[in-house]
Structure 1
Amino acid sequence: MDNQWQYKVEQAVARIREFDHEAAERAQRHSDSLTKPPGSLGKLEAIACQLAGISGQLWPDMSRKTVIVMAGDHGVCEEGVSAFPPEVTPQMVLNFLSGGAAVNVLARQAGADVICVDVGVNAELEHPQLVSRKVVRGTANMAKQPAMSREQALQAIAVGIELVDEQVAAGVRVFATGEMGIGNTTASSAIASVLTGLSPEQSVGSGTGINGEARARKIDAVKRAIALNKPDASDPVDVLAKVGGAEIAGLVGVIIGAAANGCPVVIDGFISSAAALAASRIAEQAKPYMIASHLSQEQGHQGLLEAIGLTPMIRLEMRLGEGTGAVLSFHFIDAALKLMQEMATFESAGVSKG
């Protein structure tokens, strides 16, 4: 069975087209012809050129946007690493499905859809809008044993890939990563430490709002998990299986799936960036398809972005997750494309060029 999921992941990686540098350069030339000093719109110009390189088109249609919120539980919560109990994960999933979470509000404002996926929640959930693709009923406590088997990690990645394939077939052209899982900043800190070399003291932040003694417990849990499981930094699937989470692996699949379908994927905060780094190690050619949305308050986030080679668009001191920062960034994508489409050129406006 391991081979089945491995094959699906490898197939998706093989589908990723090379970034179209010629289209990106065409977009840059067009941007330079607009009525403004060259480069004066900063990251908006860079985004427009990146979208051209991803799509191969100067003005791609990016109107259909979706944030995929992957949900899963974490056995490491037994170690007292979160300010909230594990029961909050299924409760928040129902909140997403009823439209009451922060990401729902921001997605409505951005004209985007929210898809909530149960890939690893430790509860039986039923709702007409829930996408149920459960791989595990919560991970095991990584401080005592591997969080998942390799097969489960690969299956969760395959879930993300399949979901993106389905959404692209339905007309979606831009994706954002979102997640829900009490304990998942602990897993993400472990992934960050293994894949970047950051110490647990550097990678572990406040998560749901812990500090002092609780943060010391969290650092200790990450250290023990890494020492016990010995995840192989050269094998990102091994890292995801031993110290990751089903929802993090699911997001790895979303990122690879978006690239395989020639679509940009907007990366949210710390947890999504841990998934993005793992995805980039599995498929380096997926990197140009990633857009970093924001720099969160989680102290390990900057190190993750630097390891991937991404620069965030905004800094709003957020640390909620769910996909909130990524969905906010949809507005900047729309703005970048509108500027390319609607601004006058020096020639058309009769303006003297400097």
Structure 2
Amino acid sequence: MSNLFFLNEIKPLDKEIMRKAKERLDNLAKPIGSLGNLEQMAIKLSGITGQMYNKLEKKAVVIMCSDNGVCEEGIASAPQIVTYTQTTNFSRGITGVCVLAKHEGADVIAVDVGVKGIIDSPSILSRKIRMGTSNIAKGEAMTKEEAIKAIDIGFDLVRELKDKGYKILGTGEMGIGNTTTSSALLIALTDCEIDEAVGYGAGLTLEQFNKKKEVIKRSIAINKPDKNDPIDVLHKLGGFDIAALVGMYLGAAYYRMPIVVDGFISVVAALIAYRLNSLAREFMFPSHVSKENGYNIAIDELNLRPILNLDMRLGEGSGCPLAFNIIEAATAVINNMATFEEAKVDVENYKDFWRNDEDF
């Protein structure tokens, strides 16, 4: 039985513990609300875990890796073999996300859900569905059953990692051509204009960029996805990497784990998860604003505020370790900062200073 049958069992955040967390934050030795989004993150974490005090000492970025059949249309600046090469490089610890994760003390877990080629490495989780999706410019990317299988892979992996003691997860992807599949998904889901959703990806020429848009238009016309059915859109236009990320977001909500959303591809997967169950968004922390076209459309519908804006567009989950650091800072505030009473601050004598945040 697919994990999709458990979607109705996802519960909202714990409002009572969130109220208590806010009460503690309001009584810390500072003006109310003066630590801004750090306070909101701490409150949200409490609602997710059901605990006021949280420690995120064990954390991981999970990278879903898969190839995309649409690459045969010549819409990518890099050859398709780069998916295979970079996936194996994750096990060597030399990619951008690996360097940032090591700096933060986070693990990197690469998952082969559809890389074109055989990867024989104990450091890469093998969950291969098949060697890449089909060409969306000629037909459906995958069957509905394959899409659900990919979702289940991501969902089950969250449970496995929670059982291993991980406290927070980040999401990344690797798959040449996946800005094309992501843009196609976004247009099909939201009816946005193609120029709003399609960017230059990893560095297309103008000729390649125009071809990319033409291929996306043709793919949507051929497949005729039903925007009111997220699974229909996903299996017709998506990738195994994106589908597995959808499963991770749903699994995080079901198993009550905070999960960090990376850039454009990840946020489109998050949008699909949200369309399947709107409660999924309550467990998400967007890491950074992506420079890729279309990101703002998805994040606006999710009504989430990215933590950072560093002009990043690498992918791989590279924004997640940076966000981990900020989220951990939020836990340090609520866990370790003194209250007025503990700091021996006489608030009554400093009413003009310790003012309500509404006065700012």
- TM bin (shorter chain): over 0.9
Where does residue 313 of structure 1 map in the other structure? 307
Note the C-alpha offset of 1:112: 1.0
Q: 1:203: Cα distance to partner?
A: 0.2
Q: Which residue of 1 aligns with 2:5?
A: 10
Map of 1:328 onto structure 2: 322
Q: CA deviation at 1:347?
A: 1.2
Whole-angstrom distance in 2 between the partners of 1:41 and 1:270? 28
**Structure 1 SS opposite 2:290:** coil
Per-residue CA deviation, residues 146-204 of structure 1 (Å, 9 max, x unaligned), is 11110000000000011111111111121110100000000000111111221121100
Q: What does residue range 247-286 of structure 1 map to in structure 2 within 5 Å?
A: 247-286=241-280
Secondary structure of the 2:165 match is coil
In the alignment, which of 129, 142, 147 is matched to residue 135 of structure 1?
A: 129
Secondary structure class of the residue paired with 2:288: coil
Q: Which runs of 5+ in 1 are unaligned?
A: none
Partner of 1:219: 213
Match of 1:120 in 2: 114
Mapped contact 1:15–1:261 kept (Cα < 8 A): no
Matches within 5 A, 1:130-279: 130-279=124-273
Q: Provide the rounded CA distance (Å) in 1 between the counterparts of 2:322 and 2:261.
A: 11
**Percentage of matched positions with identical amino acids:** 45
Partner residue in 2 for 1:352: 346
| Number of matched pairs | 348
Quote the residue 2:99 is aligned against.
Answer: 105
Corresponding residue SS for 1:154? helix
Tell me how far apart the structure 2 counterparts of residues 186 and 224 of structure 1 sit (CA, whole Å). 12
CA contact (8 A) 1:136 1:246 kept: no
Offset, 1:9: 2.1
Q: Give, in angstroms, the shift of residue 215 of structure 1.
A: 1.0
User: Which residue of structure 2 aligns with residue 56 of structure 1?
Assistant: 50
Partner of 1:294: 288
Structure 2 residue identity aligned to 1:268: D
- Equivalent residue for 2:334? 340
Structure 2 SS opposite 1:70? strand
The structural deviation recorded for 1:211 is 4.0
Is this contact kept in 1: 2:55–2:328, CA < 8 A? no
The structural deviation recorded for 1:27 is 1.0
Residue segments in structure 2 that go unaligned for 5+ positions in a row: 348-353, 355-360
Aligned partner of 1:197: which letter?
D
Distance 1:151 1:242 in 2: 11
Return the TM-score normalized by structure 1.
Answer: 0.96
Tell me which residue corresponds to 1:72: 66
**Aligned partners of 1:136 and 1:152 also within 8 Å:** no
- Amino acid of the structure 1 residue aligned with 2:266: S
Cα deviation, 1:67-104, whole Å, max 9, x if unaligned, reads: 11000001111121111010000000011011111111
CA drift at 1:59: 0.7
One-letter amino acid of the structure 2 residue matched with residue 24 of structure 1:
M
SS in 2 for 1:140: coil
The amino acid that maps onto 1:8 is N
After alignment, is 55-64 or 131-140 more displaced?
A: 55-64
Give the SS at the match of 1:157.
helix
Counterparts of 2:190 and 2:258 in 1: how far apart (Å)? Answer: 24
CA drift at 1:352: 3.1
What residue is the counterpart of 2:358 in the other structure?
A: none
The answer (yes or no) to whether the contact 2:60–2:168 under 8 Å persists in 1 is: yes
Q: TM-score, normalized by length of structure 2? A: 0.95
Query: What amino acid maps onto 1:270 in structure 2?
Result: F
Q: Is residue 2:15 matched to residue 1:21?
A: yes
For residue 119 of structure 1, give the secondary structure of its aligned residue in structure 2.
strand
Give 1:116 deviation, angstroms: 0.5
- Decide whether the 8 Å contact of 2:140 with 2:236 is kept in 1: yes
Distance in structure 2 (CA, Å) of the matches to 1:85 and 1:103: 21
Deviation for aligned residue 1:223: 0.8
